[in-house]
Chains A and B, each alone.
Chain A
């Protein structure tokens, strides 16, 4: 159903209250992004370690083609989401290392100059 430029696909959206399950089956993509990406995570003793690996690949497969579009709009939060980007963890580590490096360099020069200052005192 299209009213002007509002798209209301299927009965689920067209009938607004409560009875969504009685309507047309919801779009698979909409369901998957909710039941896989969202929802409460309480580690079951069986799915432990599974989410990191398998769901990641599925999620990437689902969204990979739309990443460019999203980046254009400036919505790129998942690039730093370890769930979605295997690189994100690595990049975070690098950032941390760089920051630590900077801090250490600063500390060294501070100590060096501090040492000189100290000897003058």
Chain B
């Protein structure tokens, strides 16, 4: 590293949490590669232990960050590295993941930032620490193909009869589509209600565009649920049951995630 160094923060745990690193596979963690190939280590700061790695401020300083965050290739690489470290560490001890691009110019700057938030962070750790996040997305199921071409026009129809028949079919198609969309939305709300009841907390994310989800079905719901790790099995079964009970939807389950969606105060 040539230029000035900054500290990239991945996650925060209570002081002593870092001791778990050495007890439960600290060797694995020290072999973890962080953002920009940096070596991950723990740093004590104001009663907390922070997972950090060194970053070159020529690439991760404020002006550089501003430029680089707009570069989706750079962003993907950094986001995956950030996630990789948090994901590995969250299996070892309770933690709060920090938002991407939390960079400090020095250790003392980090200590100062944490000192202002001590109580709040401890409360968040009690609420979230050790729990896992599951993601559920609901899509509107594809409708049976009702393309006009598959419904042959009666051969004996005269011109106006055919036109009328077309309009009737078209109206029926639109009504059916509207009905199924409403059913899917109602289904999505019902599923969310059911799953929320099983979770310690739930958060709505904006539905993703088809481009982002890689799925052509319209996404109706994109949620995160906070659960005790021991409740994961039951939750997965509940999602499977909901998928069976709601043929108008396709449900997608992802996880377990570190509790990203619940770390902030929101």
Contact = CB atoms under 8 A, between A and B. Distances in A.
B15 interface: no
Contacts of B76: 28, 32
Contact of B204 (A32, A65, A77, A84): A77
A47 B181 CA distance: 42
Contacts of A31: 79-80, 83
B256 A43 contact: no
B38 interface: no
Interface stretch (B19-27, B92-100, B145-153, B168-176): B92-100
A35 B63 CA distance: 20
A47 B102 CA distance: 6
Contacts of A57: 70
B99 A67 contact: no
Contacts of A28: 76, 79-80, 212
Nearest to A10: B254
Given A16-B256, A18-B91, A31-B79, A47 B208 contact: no
A48 B221 CA distance: 32
Contact of B62 (A8, A9, A20, A50): A50
Give the interface centre of B185, B203, B213, B252 by most chain A CB atoms within 10 Å: B252
B75 A9 contact: no
Nearest to B248: A5
B209 A63 contact: yes
Interface residues of B, number: 86
A6 B239 CA distance: 8
A39 B208 contact: no
A8 B136 CA distance: 10
Contacts of A67: 206
Given A38-B260, A40-B263, A66-B209, A8 B102 contact: no
A79 B105 CA distance: 34
A20 B117 CA distance: 31
Given A7-B250, A20-B256, A54-B70, A40 B209 contact: no
A62 B105 contact: no
B88 interface: yes
Nearest to B263: A40
Given A46-B61, A69-B220, 13 more contacts: A4-B243, A4-B244, A6-B239, A28-B76, A28-B79, A33-B205, A38-B99, A40-B264, A41-B98, A46-B103, A48-B62, A69-B219, A75-B221
Interface of B: 6, 9, 12, 57, 60-62, 65-66, 69-70, 75-76, 79-80, 82-84, 87-88, 91, 96-105, 109-110, 113-114, 117, 121, 124, 135, 141, 181, 185, 188-189, 203-214, 218-222, 224, 229, 232-233, 236, 239-240, 243-244, 246-247, 249-257, 260-264
Interface of A: 3-9, 12-13, 16-21, 25-51, 53-55, 57-58, 62-67, 69-70, 72-75, 77-78, 84
5 contacts: A37-B205, A38-B99, A44-B102, A73-B185, A73-B207
Q: Kindly list the 3 A-B residue pairs having the minimum CB-CB distance in the complex, ordered from nearest.
A: A65-B209, A39-B99, A34-B260
